[in-house]
Amino acid sequence: MSDKWLITSNGQLLFFCLLCVSILLVSCERRDLTYYEVSEITLTADWNDSGLDDKEQKYGATAVFYPRNGGEPKIFMMGDRSGDAVRLPMGVYDIIVFNRSFNDFSNIAFRGNSYETLEAYARKVETRVDKKTRVETRTIISSPDELAAATLEGFTVTEDMLGNYSQTTYGRTAPSRSSEETPDGLYHLHFVPKKLTREVSAVLHIEGLNNIRSATCRLGGVAESIFLATGKTSANTVTQEFTPSNPEFSPGSPFNGTLSCEFEIFGLNVIDNNNLHLDALLVDGKTEFEGDCTNVKITENDDGTGSVTLILEASTEKVPDVKPEGGAGSGFDVDVDGWGNEINTDIPIN
């Protein structure tokens, strides 16, 4: 009886040991499978030639990897826009890197599910009807934020690239191995983003500037959106609203001068004969002056670093004289040599 019990016990013990070994082997195989599913890729970006304003430095960037097999894009947020590390499974990818994130822009939104169709478009657009002609016009009422991007097509993650990191560092933003330790184990992609939006520097020459309290302009022939992969604008053409200010009177004249401002656009679909319309509230607080500007000229100015500014110059019809609301004075401060002391009048520029 004892011998039979001993044999049974030994058999149970052997079965238990084999079961434990099997579990351990499966666990090891599972870890190896997980460990080698992805490759760590270091991303760096040089924004010096992007043409972005210095304030953009406080924002991060976004890297979007589009698998060519049609799978879901892999989106990585780069808290430090100059560099980060990402992990990717095997595959062939087309990549877009752009400043900020999909949700960080005030006046830009995004649409499109693929590398070719990812499109930045104006978030704030109104459809307006002309009171006289009843023609509908789509108008961007807030200029887009600055946008810059870089692309790379056909980046391949192969099987021998997988597992080039330590498990204990998974999720960190820095590479887990130094280039000195494993010179062949690290993979690096470098991007040099370029600006996609265009800055417009507008100057309006106005006869009767002293009669204007506030002004709004609408520029025709503007693109509604732009594709990040190609930098090409969409065919949808709209008008874009902007608010000129910064009044400067011509030397020796308290009446004539210029209004100016800078704003961003996605681009111009109409290069020649751009329509520019002016709406102004005059200093009497009730008279509205409107009309199409004349001598509209748009030229490009390249600063030599790849950043191109569009220079917009135009003239307006003579603004009629009106009596200022509340007494003498005009909508803007006047400081002209030979014309007496400066007249200080606080008038908001909308």
Q: Could you give phi then psi for residue 328, rounded to 5 degrees? A: -65, 155
- C-alpha to C-alpha distance for 277 and 264, rounded to whole angstroms: 18
Report pLDDT for 129.
86
- pLDDT at res. 131: 77
CA-to-CA distance for 61 and 68, rounded, in angstroms?
22
Q: In this structure, what are the phi and psi dihedrals at residue 140, rounded to the nearest 5 degrees?
A: -75, 120
Question: Which residue type, as a one-letter code, is found at position 46?
Answer: D
Q: Give the pairing type, strands 308-315 and 187-191.
A: unpaired
Give the pairing type, strands 194-195 and 308-315: unpaired
CA distance 143 to 108: 9
The helix or strand, by DSSP H or E, that contains position 33, with its residue range, turns out to be: helix 2-35
pLDDT for 24: 56
Whole-number pLDDT of residue 302: 84
What is the model's pLDDT at position 17?
Answer: 61
pLDDT in the model for residue 25: 56
Instruction: Please report which helix (H) or strand (E) contains residue 6, including its range.
Output: helix 2-35
Interval 125-184: pLDDT, tens? 999 888 778 888 999 999 999 999 999 999 999 999 998 876 543 333 333 333 233 445
Closest residue by Cα to residue 289 from 329, 259, 328: 259
- Decide: helix, strand or coil at residue 89: strand
Return the pLDDT at 11: 59
Q: Is the dihedral of CA 343, 347, 348, 350 positive or negative?
A: negative
Q: State the Cα angle at 101 between 96 and 54, rounded to 5°.
A: 95
Dist CA 9 CA 3 (whole Å) = 10
For 32-67, how does the pLDDT look when each residue is reduced to its tens digit (9 = 90+)? 444 579 999 999 999 999 999 999 989 999 999 999
- Residue 190: both structure tokens together: 């470098």
Q: How many C-beta atoms surround the C-beta of residue 150 within 10 A?
A: 21
Return the half-sphere exposure (C-beta side, CA atoms, 13 A cut-off) of residue 326: 9
pLDDT for 270 equals: 80
Whole-structure pTM value:
0.78
Amino acid at 171: G
CA distances from 276 to 202, 231, 242, 298, 314 (A): 11, 25, 11, 11, 8
According to the model, what pLDDT value does residue 5 have? 45
Q: What is the mean pLDDT of the chain?
A: 84
DSSP 8-state symbol, 57: G
pLDDT averaged over 10-residue windows placed end to end, the chain, 350 residues: 50 62 53 68 95 92 97 96 96 98 97 98 92 87 97 96 67 31 70 96 97 97 97 95 97 96 94 87 96 93 80 96 78 45 41
Q: Which residue has tokens 């887009």?
A: 144
Residue type, 81: R
Residue 298's pLDDT is 94
Q: What local confidence, expressed as pLDDT, does residue 53 receive?
A: 92
Give the model's pLDDT for residue 34.
47
